[in-house]
């Protein structure tokens, strides 16, 4: 009878095979860093237009004094 072949792969090789490639890990880390920095800059800069603020209502948007009529004849 033949002996079953032993795998020559050690625990380190198996772990490396299951881990994502280093380039993918680096890309995801860079993506998270860019998102964090852009969020911090946006929070520091504040609103993009005068009078913009968060509405206190739980639903919908705060349309303020906007005229929603479109077209002619109105």
Number of domains in the chain: 1
In-domain check, residue 1? no
Q: Residue 7's pLDDT band (boundaries 50, 70, 90)? A: low
pTM, full prediction? 0.46
Residue 20: helix, strand or coil by DSSP?
coil
Domain assignment of residue 31, yes or no: yes
Spatial separation of the C-alpha atoms in residues 14 and 4, rounded to whole Å: 19
Q: In this structure, is residue 70 part of a structural domain?
A: no
Domain limits for position 23: 9-43
54 lies in a domain? no
Q: What is the pLDDT of residues 51-74, one digit of tens each?
A: 777 766 655 555 555 666 666 555
Within 8 A by CB and 6+ apart from 62, the residues are 55
């Amino acid at each position: 009878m033949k002996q079953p072949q032993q795998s020559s792969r050690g625990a380190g090789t198996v772990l490396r095979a299951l881990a994502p490639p280093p380039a993918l890990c680096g890309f995801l880390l860079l993506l998270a860093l860019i998102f964090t920095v852009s969020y911090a800059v946006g929070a520091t800069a504040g609103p993009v237009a005068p009078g913009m603020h968060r509405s206190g209502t739980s639903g919908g948007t705060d349309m303020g004094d906007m005229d929603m009529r479109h077209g002619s004849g109105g």
